[in-house]
A and B are shown apart, each in its own frame.
Chain A
Amino acid sequence: MDHWWQKDISGCGLSGIINWDGKRISGAVIKKSVALMHDRGNGQGGGFAAYGIYPEHKDHYALHIMFTEEPGKPTRDFDDAMKETEAYLDRALAVDLAEDIPVRVTEKVPSHPLLRRYFVKVKQGSLKGTNMTEDDYIVSAVMHINDKIDNAFVFSSGRNMGAFKGVGFPEDIADFFMLENYEGHTWTAHNRFPTNTQGWWGGAHPFTLLDWSIVHNGEISSYGINKRYLEMFGYKLALLTDTEVVTYMFDLLVRRQGLPISAACMAVAAPFWKDIDRMEESEREACEAIRMVYGPALLNGPFAILFGHGKGLIGMNDRIKLRPFIAATKGKTVYMASEESAIREICPEPKEVWAPRAGHPVVVEMGKGIV
């Protein structure tokens, strides 16, 4: 067990949009919103997650892969890394389309990795004799590439969605990836303020796992125990960021353990004992149990997160509201951001604007709206 790890610390600004009716929105919109909060970041990381952008390949897993230097790994010719990766993909998966991710090089983003995307499916028969699901299989393939192939890093792997991220201000990263050419029903954006230079594109946010993506603001003071708790369930925390911890925590609680999302939110931003003590018996019993069982999952310290999962978007902050978080609605669109001005920049006249209560998630589901 490595006890010498050094955590990666950062703050930031975030913005998210979802049209729960499935109407698709241009990437130019989210760019405009997050760009208004330019001063919340420091140019060391910007990124976006977009859902509904690949309708023509909606049944494929879209693997976004960067070939670049990786911290702690030797650097080689990126073409070699690409060849090795593609050979592996051909062996392990059915690759129906492989192409460069289109980019527009500007002076704002002077250097960048080799960026490719692959639309893949799990080959028939691959799951035979295993108790894996397709998702599990894809996760293991992603882990294999990230872990075993030097200079190759999968930065998104969901269906009909993709992450776009890199080192730079988010508006410059949006221009680089030409996000104005994408349309999605859900977008999240992140403007990063790391205390250290990462200089590594994979270190930018969002952090994703299959259809899930997390953008996050704040530093989680309980990181140490959250990390050890996840490790107990076999997670390898390679990036040492809070965002990674949040993503895996939801993966553990929701996907693997099957908790309802609102219960998972209650575990990570637990109600205070003083409030639990006032609840009626069955609710009190449930909340008490959550705190007793999921104590190590409590994300303690300042955070605001946006959690996209393909079927909706969840936004929430910590239980004493140490990070700003504003939500708004107009028609069938819900907006969430660190600052109200970032919402007004793209929706000047929202129907409703409010500051969600500490630890109380805003849960939006496709087809339903805010639940």
Chain B
Amino acid sequence: MNRTMPPEFRVKIDQEKCRKCKRCLMSCSFGVYSFADRVIPDSNKCVACNRCVVMCPEDAITIHESPNVYKDHPNWPLSIRKNVWKQAETGGVLLTGMGNDRPYPIIFDHLVVDACQVTNPSIDPLREPMELRTFLGRKPDKLEMEMVGGKPRLKEKLPQNIKLEIPVIFAPMSFGAISLNAHKSLAMAAKESGTVYGTGEGGLHEELYDYGPWTIVQCASGRFGVHSEYLNAGVAVEIKIGQGAKPGIGGHLPGEKIGAEISRTRMIPVGTDALSPAPHHDIYSIEDLRQLIYAIKEATGYKPVSVKIACVHNVAAIATGIVRAGADIVYLDGFKGGTGAAPTQIRDHVGIPIELALAAVDDRLRQEGIRNQASIVAAGGIRSSADAVKAIALGADACAIGTAALLAMGCSLCQKCYTGNCAWGICTQKPELTRRLDPEWGAMRLNNLLRAWGHEIKEFLGALGVNSVESLRGSRERLRGVGLDAQTLDILGVKPAGR
């Protein structure tokens, strides 16, 4: 009996419009609909993914918030009551998907960007040069040069870097968390747009090895699908220490998602649970991180190594340690970062916002004089080109987008990723669902998104009177805060608007 759980939504069918084509029955992966002379919805099962609404040719379906009312209590909103009921029923850990949905303040929305007026000119990005090219990786503090035949020559080669045509990359999401078609979409779009995508921790499917120059392969605590060839397949290797949505928490891909393709890619048997330990069991201290970084470098001919961490309290000290341990890229994932599955309480209550973490890390690396030694990638709550511009001004070399990329591929943010029933074919391994996402279509949509953001970033740069993204990078002088307290402004290194 499930009577203590009230439905979240109410599905209404306009029976006059309905032609009984049953597309809704086919579309819904959560089993809302049944048919007996007419379409009958079971609102209890609806997650508001809106697949049926989009697929209905007659526009006969509407989804509403449940009108059922419980007596209000400010300390006990219905969402919290539901959690207690669910746990009383199941005795289980609450699960959720996507990023933190608690109403924490969004600092990006309290930052505004500068523009040129009179004293220096803004630039028209459509007709004048505007450069977004970005290199991720270690840069030396100075160059050793010589002149040969009147032309400069490097005496010593630069360390390997990753070349991006836009300072936005696709966040690592594993094959397992998302479908192979979603991975293909990301790989194709990364190639087309001149950026990179991350494999996440689930290995690299054999069909995607050709996209190596646009791939960052990951080595996480579960070491799924990690072998010598894999480590050498991409342009860099990422050691995933943590994820913004679940700092300090391991992963767990349930056995029912381990089908033939995932089994082959992760190199584990079909149907077993894929457990990712909370820590890497070869990293219990900072010198151990260095040990793994150099083990990977030794095994890959010194490809760049990125270290991805969740933003936590001591993030600045941790990041400096990571750089000193030999990382070429520090990937910061803020507490609004997404996930395919995380314990709800962890997702909603652990970690700190990317804006503050990024500012603190960039500051500290500069104080230590080691900012050149590694690039910073900011992730976990980048929703628009404006967020990306603000993050770059705070000090990021590039941003990574996960949730925005999923939205581009059709996701409606129903947050049910952990059920494996994604009606859009993204966060599921069921063949009847994954085929809903055509990789060509997905890639096209991702490319559109990046093209649009690219234009917008150029507009920001033009308004700022600079024609290359490195003139914005770390230029906090071009940001002002609106409605932020003095302490927060101090951490951000940003003046209040009006100053």
Which residues of A are interface residues toward B (Cβ below 8 A)? Answer: 6-13, 39-42, 44, 193-197, 217-219, 302, 322-323
Number of interface residues of B (CB under 8 A): 19
- Name 9 extra pairs, CB < 8 A, besides A6-B317, A9-B314: A7-B314, A10-B286, A11-B286, A41-B287, A217-B287, A219-B285, A219-B286, A302-B284, A302-B285
- The answer for the CA separation of A51 and B364 in the assembled complex, in Å, is 38
Q: Which of A6, A39, A44, A323 is B285 in contact with, Cβ under 8 Å? A: A323
Q: CB-CB < 8 A to B369: which residues of A?
A: 197
Min Cβ gap B2→A in Å is 37
Q: Evaluate contact between B285 and A195: CB separation under 8 angstroms.
A: no
Which of chain B's residues have a CB closer than 8 A to the CB of A7?
A: 314, 317
Q: From A338, which residue of chain B is reached at the shortest CB distance?
A: B287
The chain B residue sitting closest to A8, CB to CB, is B317
A255 to B286, CA, bound (A): 32
**CA of A361 to CA of B322, assembled, Å:** 31
Q: How far is the CB of A11 from chain B (nearest CB, A)?
A: 4
Are A42 and B324 closer than 8 Å at their CB atoms? Answer: yes
How many A-B residue pairs lie within 8 Å, measured between CB atoms?
A: 62
Bound CA span A184–B325, Å = 34
**Do A217 and B324 form a contact, CB below 8 Å, given A196-B317, A197-B368?**
no
Separation of A190 and B291 alpha carbons in the complex (Å) = 18
Of all A-B residue pairs in the complex, the 9 with the closest CB atoms, nearest first, are: A195-B321, A11-B286, A11-B285, A322-B284, A11-B287, A195-B317, A40-B287, A302-B284, A193-B287
Contacts of A42 in B (CB 8 A): 290, 324-325
**Could you tell me the distance in whole angstroms from the C-beta of A218 to the nearest C-beta in chain B?**
5
Contact in complex: A193, B324 (CB < 8 Å): yes
Q: What is the minimal beta-carbon distance from A71 to any residue of chain B, in angstroms?
A: 13
B288-314 vs A, CB cutoff 8 Å, 1 = contact: the mask equals 101100100000000000000000001
The A-contacting residues of B in range 65-99, CB under 8 angstroms, are none
CB distance from A359 to the nearest CB of B (A): 15
Residues of A within 8 A of B364 (CB): 196
CB-defined contacts of A302 to chain B, threshold 8 Å: 284-285
Give Cα A180 to B314, complex, Å. 39
Q: Is the CB of B284 within 8 A of A195?
A: no
Q: Judging by beta carbons under 8 Å apart, are B287 and A13 in contact?
A: yes
Residues of A within 8 A of B314 (CB): 6-7, 9
- In B315-373, the 8 Å CB interface with A consists of 317-318, 320-322, 324-325, 364, 368-369
CA–CA, A10 and B287, complex, Å? 9
CA distance A39 to B287 in the complex (A): 8
Residues of A within 8 A of B324 (CB): 42, 44, 193, 195
A323 pairs with B286, CB closer than 8 A: no
A to B CB contacts below 8 Å, 18 in the list:
A6-B314, A9-B321, A10-B286, A11-B288, A39-B291, A40-B287, A42-B290, A42-B325, A193-B321, A195-B318, A196-B321, A196-B364, A197-B368, A197-B369, A217-B285, A219-B285, A322-B284, A323-B284
Closest to B288 in A: A11
Look across to chain A and name the residue whose beta carbon is closest to the beta carbon of B368.
Answer: A197
Residues on B with C-beta less than 8 A from A40 are 287
- Taking the closest CB of chain B, its distance from the CB of A371, in whole angstroms, is 29
Measured CB to CB, the nearest residue on chain B to A192 is: B287
CB closest chain-A residue, reference B369: A197
Quick one: given A6-B317, A9-B317, A39-B290, are A196 and B284 in contact (CB under 8 Å)?
A: no
Residues of A within 8 A of B317 (CB): 6-9, 195-196
CA A178 – CA B422 in complex, angstroms? Answer: 68
A194 CA to B325 CA in the complex, in Å? 10
By a CB distance below 8 angstroms, the chain B residues around A323 are: 284-285
User: How many angstroms between the C-alpha atoms of A196 and B315 in the bound complex?
Assistant: 12
Expressed in whole angstroms, the minimum distance between the Cβ of B310 and any Cβ of chain A is 15
A195 to B370, CA, bound (A): 12
Q: How far is the CB of B486 from chain A (nearest CB, A)?
A: 15
Closest chain-B Cβ to A320's Cβ sits at a distance in Å of 10
Among candidates A6, A9, A322, residue contacting B286 with C-beta atoms closer than 8 Å: A9
Residues in chain A near residue B368, CB distance under 8 A: 196-197
CB–CB A196/B285 < 8 A: no
Bound Cα distance A317, B322 (Å): 24
Question: Contacts of A9 on B, CB cut-off 8 Å?
Answer: 286, 314, 317-318, 321
Residue on B with the closest CB to A191? B287
Which residues of chain A are within 8 angstroms of B284 by Cβ–Cβ distance? 218, 302, 322-323
User: How far apart sit A44 and B368, CA to CA, in the bound complex (Å)?
Assistant: 12
Residue of B nearest to A37 (CB): B287
